[in-house]
Structure formats: structure tokens, C-alpha cells
């Protein structure tokens, strides 16, 4: 009697490395929080920008809900949160280039004087808008990456909120270490 060969045969033994070891500074969250899990979060801090938009720090996440985006970041991976005023490079460049060129073009006569001065005034306003800048919420992570979000509001309340968020994050990180 002959022995039949199996359909599947293993040619080589593979070993799986320990998945709990850190592979450099790369981090990937394997936790999926589906709605049916019903995991409760405590809201530690919340700042409402509008009736629909907010910044919220809970026991698990830091949540940013703005008109342009809605993001959740794991609290244990955040190093710091800051509110900074930054200049806008695109309006600075466009206004700085178009303004002088429109004046030269109006002076030479390649465009009408009214068009050249109108372009110059528009470019000057664009340059001013870029120079004044805008406030950005900057979220820094432990692995060195940063996320930045434009925020329209800047007052003492949001500065106090950012200070409280940083305090809570530092206290939470020291507890988990």
C-alpha cells in the first residue's frame, strides 16, 4: 500500500518575532473603538469653538473638531499641544511678486495704469494678510511628527485650555511610565 502525499506541505519553518517589541519609533494603534463596544470615556477638558466645533481631551483621546477636519489622537502618544501664530507663505510669495511686477508693468505701459494700480493694491493686501498670519493648533507626538490645524479663535480662554491640556498630558504620561 502506498502512502498518499498531503495536499499541503510545509517547505520551511517560519518564526514570528515578538510583536510587543518596538520596531524603532514607529507606532500603530491596533485598538479599534467600534460603537458596539460601548467604551466609556471621561471628558477631562472641553473647549467649544462654536455650537458644532470643539477641542476635547478625554481619558483616551484628544479630539479636534473643526470646520475643515475632525480628528482623534490617542492621548498616550501626544507629547504637547501648542497654539502658535504663523505667517502664511503662499500669500506672502504671491503678494510680494505680483505687487512690484504690476507697478513696473503699469509704469512701462504694458497694462493700463488703473489695472496696474488695482493689481498692486490687491497684491499689497494679500502680502499683508500673509505677513499678519493666522493661529494654528500644533499637536506634537512622541515619535516627532506634528499635526497643525488652523484656528480662527485666539483669546485667553483657549490659551488657558491649551495650558490645562499640556498639564493633563504631562501628568497622564508620568502616571503611565
Sorting pLDDT into bands at 50, 70 and 90, what band is 33?
low
Distance CA 135, CA 152 (A): 7
Euclidean distance between CA atoms 95 and 74, whole angstroms:
39
pLDDT score of 97 more than 90: yes
3-class state of residue 51 by DSSP: coil
Section 93-111 average pLDDT: 93
Across residues 143-166, what is the average pLDDT? Answer: 85
Average pLDDT over residues 145-174: 83
Q: Which helix (H) or strand (E) holds 66?
A: none
In angstroms, the Cα distances linking 115 to 91, 92, 99, 104, 107 are 20, 21, 12, 12, 11
Q: If you average pLDDT over every residue of the chain, what do you get?
A: 79
Residue 37 is predicted with a pLDDT of 62
| pLDDT score recorded for residue 14 | 41
From 152, 170, 149, 164, select the one nearest 69 (Cα to Cα): 149
* Greatest CA separation for the chain: 104
Lowest mean pLDDT among 55-69, 92-106, 109-123: 55-69
Cell 515619535 locates to 143
Say whether pTM exceeds 0.85: no
Range ranked top by mean pLDDT from 69-73, 86-90, 146-150: 86-90
| Whether residue 88 has pLDDT greater than 70 | yes
Amino acid at each position: 500500500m502506498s502512502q498518499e502525499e498531503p495536499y499541503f506541505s510545509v517547505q520551511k519553518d517560519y518564526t514570528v518575532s515578538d510583536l510587543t517589541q518596538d520596531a524603532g519609533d514607529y507606532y500603530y494603534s491596533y485598538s479599534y473603538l467600534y460603537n458596539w463596544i460601548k467604551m466609556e470615556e471621561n471628558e477631562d477638558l472641553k473647549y467649544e469653538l462654536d455650537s458644532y466645533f470643539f477641542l476635547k481631551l478625554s481619558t483616551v483621546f484628544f479630539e479636534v473638531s473643526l470646520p475643515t477636519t475632525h480628528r482623534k489622537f490617542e492621548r498616550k502618544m501626544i507629547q504637547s499641544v501648542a497654539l502658535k501664530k504663523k505667517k502664511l507663505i503662499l500669500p506672502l510669495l504671491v503678494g510680494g511678486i505680483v505687487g512690484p511686477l504690476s507697478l513696473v508693468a503699469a509704469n512701462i505701459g504694458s497694462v493700463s495704469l488703473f489695472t496696474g494700480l488695482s493689481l498692486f493694491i490687491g497684491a499689497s493686501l494679500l502680502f499683508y494678510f500673509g505677513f499678519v498670519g493666522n493661529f494654528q493648533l500644533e499637536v506634537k507626538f512622541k515619535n516627532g511628527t506634528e499635526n497643525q490645524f488652523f484656528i480662527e479663535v485666539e483669546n485667553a480662554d483657549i490659551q488657558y485650555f491649551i495650558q490645562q491640556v499640556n498639564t493633563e498630558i504631562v501628568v497622564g504620561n508620568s502616571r503611565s511610565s
